Amino acid sequence: MELARLVKIIKKEIVLILVLGIITAASASIFTRFKPLTYTVFCAISISQAEEDETKDYKYDNYYSGQAIDDFSDSFEKWFGDASLISESYKSAGIDLAGLSIRQRSKLVRARKLAPQYVEMRFEATSPDEGVRIVRSLIATLQRRVEGLRGDRDVWFTITAQEPLIVSEQMDPLVTAVIAFLGGAAMAAIIAIAKFYFKEQT
C-alpha cells in the first residue's frame, strides 16, 4: 500500500484515532494514579569467615578461605527459598502471611549470588518502613541460622547486611498517559488501515 494512501486513510479516521488514544491514555493514567504504591527493596549481604575460629590451613592459605566462603554462599543463597525461614521473618516483622501457600511464601524473597562473598536479596514492600522492618527481621533470622550451624566447627561464618536500597515501582502518570496515548492511537490506525484493506478486497 502506498504511503500517500496510508496518510489519506489516517486523515479520514483521525477522529477515531484521537478518541481511542485519549481514552487509552485517560484509563492508563487513572489506573496508575490509584494503583497501590509498591516498593522494591534490594539489600546486599556480605559473608566473611570469623577470624577468631580460623584453623591454620584457613588462616595461612587465602585460597582455601575464599573457597570455603564461596561454597557457603551457594548454600546461603538457597536459604531464601525456605518457606519456614521467610514465614518466621515476616511474622517477626509484623506481617501476616496466613493467606499465602508455602509455595507463594518461598517466592516472596529472591536472592542471587553477586560474588563469592556477596548475596543480594530482593523483595517487594508496601512502604519504605515495611521494607526496612523486613530486612532487619530477615537478617536476624539468617544470623540465628548461621549461628546454629557453628556448633564445634573450627571454621564458621558471619553475615553483614549493607544499607538497603528502596525503589518506588510507580510510574509517573503523565509518562504513562503519553505512552498509552501513542499505543492507543497506533492501534486505532492499524484498525483503520485493516478495515480499509479488507473493504477494498471485497
The C-alpha angle 68, 71, 75, rounded to 5 degrees, equals: 135
Same domain, 68 and 159: yes
Same domain, 155 and 176: no
- pLDDT score recorded for residue 163: 93
Same domain, 153 and 56: yes
- pLDDT score recorded for residue 153: 58
- pLDDT score recorded for residue 157: 84
Contacting residues for 25 by C-beta, under 8 A, at least 6 apart: 177, 178, 180, 181, 184
pTM of the model: 0.66
Name the residue among 120, 57, 125 with its Cα closest to residue 93. Answer: 125
Same domain, 88 and 100: yes
- pLDDT score recorded for residue 60: 46
- pLDDT score recorded for residue 151: 64
- pLDDT score recorded for residue 20: 84
Residues lower than pLDDT 70 in the chain: 1, 51-64, 151-155, 169-172, 200-202
Q: How far is 106 from 84, CA to CA, in rounded Å?
A: 8
Residue 175 Cα distances to 64, 182, 185, angstroms: 52, 11, 15
Residue 137 Cα distances to 68, 73, 125, 144, angstroms: 26, 20, 13, 11
Name the residue among 133, 121, 127 with its Cα closest to residue 76. Answer: 121
**Structural domain for 7, as ranges:** 3-35+172-201
Instruction: Give the side-chain half-sphere CA count within 13 A for 47.
Output: 25
Same domain, 90 and 157: yes
Name the residue among 33, 72, 74, 44 with its Cα closest to residue 160. Answer: 44
Per-residue pLDDT of 85-134, as tens digits, reads 999 999 999 999 998 999 999 999 999 999 989 999 999 999 999 999 99
Same domain, 124 and 138: yes
